[in-house]
Amino acid sequence: MSLFKTVPPNVVQSIRAFRVPELQAEAVRLGQHFLYAYCAEAMTKQQVLSKIAQAFYFPKHFGKNFDALADCLTELAYKAGPQPGFIVVIEQLPNTQKFDKEAREILLDVFRDSADYWAEKKVAFRVFYSFQ
């Protein structure tokens, strides 16, 4: 039985009742990429983007801005070859003066746009996140 019976294939949502090991096991079961970033130590947009870039093995030339993040999550991954799907977990996004609600919303919008991009290509792209 699929862990995702009530989760659409292209979605960005709070991690809620899911646990990271369960999500990772489901990625393995489905043969999909599992991308995990733990951002608890990050305080700024640059630090959050650095944590994600490092965890997701983005190229060294990654620009550490939201446009570069969008490019890496879509075009770069698409050009790398056929993709089996993605399960993305971003834990403990900060709530600080330098990474406030607006910055968090922009970050999640980048992931939502990426989910839409992959939906057009019929590739699952599920993102689960949590805040500090």
What are the φ and ψ backbone dihedral angles of 36, each rounded to 5 degrees?
-130, 130
pTM above threshold 0.85: yes
CA dist 15 and 45 (Å) reads 21
Q: Give the other-Cβ count within 10 Å of 127's Cβ.
A: 22
Q: What is the pLDDT of residue 61?
A: 87
pLDDT band at 2, cuts 50/70/90?
confident
Instruction: Give residue-wise pLDDT tens across range 112-128.
Output: 999 999 999 999 999 99
Mean pLDDT for 29-50 is 96
Percent of the chain beyond pLDDT 90? 85
Mean pLDDT for 64-71 is 95
pLDDT band at 17, cuts 50/70/90?
confident
pLDDT at 1 > cutoff 70: no
Q: Rounded to an integer, what is the distance from CA 112 to the centroid of its chain?
A: 9
Instruction: Give residue-wise pLDDT tens across range 40-53.
Output: 999 999 999 999 99
Structural domains in the chain plus CATH codes: 10-131 (3.30.370.10)
